[in-house]
Structure 1
Amino acid sequence: MSDTVESTQSVETTTVDIPANPLGLNTGAGSISKVSPEISGANLPDGVRQALDILAELPAYATQIYTNNKRVVTSLGLILGLIVGVKLTLAILYAINEIPLLAPTFELVGIGYTSWFVYRYLLQASTRKELTDEIDSFKSEILGNKNKKA
């Protein structure tokens, strides 16, 4: 008495030939077979079938939401990107701050540059005028020549 099982699913078989002795590790010729059964909707439970249907329609649904609400979706994406960027920047600064002697070195460099800037531009009236002229020329380059003095 023999029991036989019949299947209605089609089976795809892929055969890969292996060289007889690659790298001297294999002692004979052989082949690898990959059997992948085809998934049909008839064998799946209702919940799984519904989940697969929803996942199949998800890209079209997301595209529809984006086309209907481009400005809102773009704004939310930019806000989310800004939050991630700020968090990442703070994490990097915290990591740099934890390196021994690096934070005090940055503080000394900042104090030195601030001292030089005050000495160079803020102590004398002529250098303050030079600084305001440089700032005005920079603003006119960025904003245009609307406020140009004659």
Structure 2
Amino acid sequence: MSDTLESTQPLETTTVDIPANPLGLNTGGGSISNVSPNLSAADLPDWAKQATDILAELPAYLGQIYKNNKSAVITLGLFFGIIVGVKLTLAILSAINEIPLLAPTFELVGIGYTSWFVYRYLLQASTRKELTDEIDSFKSEVLGQKNGNA
């Protein structure tokens, strides 16, 4: 039963002197010191000087990039605009889909129009020819006349 060690000697204690303000914090009675907002360039650290220089030159730099790569910047802008448009369209469709009875109504309208289109244009050869003629005339209006058949 002597598994635990019991000591009859007193424990040693060590005394450490801690200064009243070990971190050097300002504890001067709650007074607020005035800070001058006007710093000179010599007062700023090196990284702040570099950041200030970069931010000062940024508008001219971006203007030069746009001037040199105008078509690429416009293409990127259109690309991001298309992405935003698709996201917005999907959000609107999702909101419409949540309205009761509206989504099934749109499905019925779509099925009805598809059925009419197949009956009107795709069942007979003469109506298929009419459809291809309409598509060709639309393409010639949008893209211009073909020069080879003139």
How high is the TM-score relative to the length of structure 2? 0.60
* CA pair 133-147 structure 1, distance change in 2 beyond 3 A: farther
Question: What is the CA deviation profile of residues 131-150 of structure 1, one whole-angstrom value per residue up to 9, with x for unaligned ones?
Answer: 22222222222233327979
Unaligned runs of 5+ in 2: 1-35
Kindly indicate whether the alpha-carbon contact (under 8 Å) linking 1:97 and 1:103 is maintained by their aligned counterparts in 2: yes
Cross-structure match for 1:16: none
**For 1:42, which of 29, 33, 40 is the aligned residue?**
40
Cross-structure match for 2:118: 118
**AA aligned opposite 1:78:** L
Unaligned runs of 5+ in 1: 1-8, 10-38
Aligned residues: 114
Identity %: 75
**AA aligned opposite 1:124:** Q
Matched, 1:105 2:105: yes
Larger strand proportion of the pair: 1
After superposition, the CA RMSD in angstroms is 3.0
Secondary structure of the residue aligned to 1:100 is coil
Question: What is the CA deviation profile of residues 20-62 of structure 1, one whole-angstrom value per residue up to 9, with x for unaligned ones?
Answer: xxxxxxxxxxxxxxxxxxx634286435555444323221121
**AA aligned opposite 1:100:** P
**How many angstroms apart in 2 are the aligned matches of 1:55 and 1:135?**
55
Cross-structure match for 1:81: 81
Matched, 1:57 2:60: no
Question: What is the CA deviation profile of residues 61-80 of structure 1, one whole-angstrom value per residue up to 9, with x for unaligned ones?
Answer: 21122223323323322222
* CA pair 126-75 structure 1, distance change in 2 beyond 3 A: closer
Q: CA deviation at 1:108?
A: 0.5
Greater relative CO, 1 or 2 (CA 8 Å, sep 6+): 1
* CA pair 73-141 structure 1, distance change in 2 beyond 3 A: closer
* CA pair 124-69 structure 1, distance change in 2 beyond 3 A: closer
Cross-structure match for 2:71: 71
Q: CA deviation at 1:103?
A: 0.9
Larger Rg: 2
Consecutive aligned runs of 4 or more in structure 1 exceeding 4 Å deviation:
47-50, 147-150
